[in-house]
Amino acid sequence: MPPSVGSRVPDLTVEAYIRGEREPQSLAVPAHDGEWTALVFYPRDFTFVCPTELQGFAELQHEFAAEGATLLAASTDSFYTHKAWFESHSLLADVRYPVLADPSHALSRAFGVLGQDGAALRGTFLIDPEGVVRHSSVTDLNVGRSPAETLRVLQALRTGELCPVDWRPGVATLSVAA
């Protein structure tokens, strides 16, 4: 079961693939750098839907950074499998955010997204700077998520205000004043 909204996530340290690095890099999850963490799990490397999602997040990685969010992807594959896939697939050429390696399944279990076959479900978690989950969604393997919607939810959460349906930056938030 994924951590519920409002709960603190466990502190974990995992290996990550970061483009340009020859060896695995050690990263803390959630990021403890005063920033939000946008953590997106995907099932496996060398699949069909996953590169479209990862490319979509890559297209918005600067917008996530502008919102004070560390963008992280994760699957149950190893660092070396990530390295082989990300350095050979054309859709993944622009991915510059860390991709977490979870072959032990500790991270996937902690977030409640480990499938029976050992692959992660498509889990999306927005974690505030204090390590508290503010948004989570978990989807079946066959349907890709919307990186733009993940960014919109992050932007809405960061306002600290009541945001109406389809709220976007620049749109007024709601007031409860009578």
- Is residue 50 flagged as an active site residue? yes
Contacts with 112 (C-beta within 8 Å, 6 or more apart), sequence order: 1, 2, 3, 123, 138
> Strand 69-75 relative to strand 36-41: parallel, antiparallel, unpaired?
parallel
Q: Which of 22, 18, 45, 8 is nearest to 120 (CA)?
A: 45
CB neighbours of residue 29 within 10 Å? 26
Single out the catalytic residue among 18, 50, 58, 113: 50
**DSSP string for residues in 135-172:** EEEEE-TTS---HHHHHHHHHHHHHTSB--TT--TTS-
**Active site residues per annotation:** 50
